[in-house]
């Protein structure tokens, strides 16, 4: 009798161990399968600072000669940062508003801020400024468009050769392949890519800034052209080099963030 109980207990224990091993193997296999699945990213994110849209990872055609480049996935603001968004940041942090800030025009792009101000806003919002590669892919799409909407110039789709800024979400017909608005015209935009100046850049900015800038300062890029310029200024491979302390009523910004599932 005792022998039978012992044998029965041994058999039961063997069965239990086998079941547990099967569960562990199944779970491990599931984890391996999960890790091997491609990351599925939401196409849009929405927060107090507007909508961000996904720019998927992959190659695109960059530069005037359309050389292939590769950019990782990221999210970018659908619109330029507005006066409303920037004012909320200043209230929350004590950051100074630009001089002559148009509080009565909350939905226009914020301008007349330096890249340090734009960077501070981006950090507050949990974002960052785009680099030149990211900015150009959002503008051109995978196929390397010359303009956000295609390869044909059309001043009716961008706020260029104009007298003033327009609403940040206006002119959706001029959006890019990814539905990013006003990457051509309205406010030109800072990118965080460092752009060492040429002697001509230093000379050009000397007439606009006091004290005059030097080549030893940090210089960054401005892309996309502004409302007071021609559409040709907005071509995506073009940029203007400006000192980090530069600010202008023609220059604003938008933000990006790294793409994650959360």
Sorted by sequence, the CB contacts under 8 Å of residue 41 that are 6+ apart come out as: 54, 56, 73, 259, 260, 261
Query: Six-digit token pair at 107?
Result: 């939905």
Greater pLDDT, 50 or 24: 50
By the 8 A CB rule, do 39 and 57 touch?
A: no
Predicted model pTM: 0.84
Please determine, for residue 7, whether its predicted confidence score (pLDDT) is greater than 90: no
Residues 59-102: tens digit of each pLDDT: 999 999 999 999 999 999 999 999 999 999 999 999 999 999 99
| Terminal alpha carbon distance of the chain | 60
Q: How far apart are CA 237 and CA 197, in angstroms?
A: 16
pLDDT band at 112 (very low <50, low <70, confident <90, very high): very high
Mean pLDDT of the 2-8 span? 46
By the 8 A CB rule, do 197 and 119 touch?
A: no
Mean pLDDT of the 202-223 span? 96
Please determine, for residue 261, whether its predicted confidence score (pLDDT) is greater than 80: no
By the 8 A CB rule, do 223 and 238 touch?
A: yes
Tell whether omega for the bond before 211 is within 30 degrees of 0, i.e. cis. Answer: yes
By the 8 A CB rule, do 179 and 78 touch?
A: yes
Residue 38 is predicted with a pLDDT of 58
Q: How far apart are CA 190 and CA 251, in angstroms?
A: 7
Please determine, for residue 185, whether its predicted confidence score (pLDDT) is greater than 50: yes
Please determine, for residue 160, whether its predicted confidence score (pLDDT) is greater than 80: yes
CA distances from 104 to 85, 153, 185, 247, 249 (A): 13, 33, 22, 21, 16
pLDDT band at 40 (very low <50, low <70, confident <90, very high): confident
Residue 33 is predicted with a pLDDT of 37
Please determine, for residue 199, whether its predicted confidence score (pLDDT) is greater than 80: yes
Mean pLDDT of the 109-114 span? 98
Please determine, for residue 106, whether its predicted confidence score (pLDDT) is greater than 50: yes
- Residue 98 CB neighbours (<10 A): 17
């Amino acid at each position: 009798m005792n022998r039978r109980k012992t044998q029965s207990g041994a058999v039961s224990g063997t069965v239990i161990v086998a079941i547990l091993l099967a569960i562990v193997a199944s779970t491990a296999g599931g984890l391996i399968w999960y890790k091997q699945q491609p990351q599925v990213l939401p196409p849009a994110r929405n927060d107090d600072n507007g909508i961000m849209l996904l720019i998927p990872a992959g190659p695109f055609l960059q530069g005037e000669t359309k050389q292939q480049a590769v950019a990782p996935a990221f999210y970018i603001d659908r619109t330029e940062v507005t006066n409303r968004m920037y004012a909320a940041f200043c209230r929350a942090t004590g950051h100074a508003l630009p001089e002559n800030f148009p509080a009565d025009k909350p939905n226009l792009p914020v301008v007349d801020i330096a890249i340090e101000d734009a960077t501070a806003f981006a950090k507050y919002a949990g974002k960052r400024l785009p680099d030149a590669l990211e900015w150009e892919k959002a503008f051109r799409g995978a196929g390397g468009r010359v303009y956000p909407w295609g390869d044909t110039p059309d001043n009716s789709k961008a706020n260029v050769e104009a007298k003033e800024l327009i609403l940040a979400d206006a002119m959706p017909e001029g959006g890019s392949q990814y539905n990013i608005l006003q990457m051509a015209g309205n406010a030109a935009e800072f990118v965080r890519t460092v752009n060492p100046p040429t002697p001509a850049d230093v000379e050009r900015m000397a007439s606009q800034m006091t004290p005059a800038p030097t080549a030893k300062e940090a210089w960054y890029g401005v892309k996309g052209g502004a409302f007071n310029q021609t559409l040709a200024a907005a071509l995506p491979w073009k940029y203007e080099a400006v000192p980090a302390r530069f600010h202008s009523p023609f220059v604003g910004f938008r933000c990006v963030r790294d793409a994650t599932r959360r």
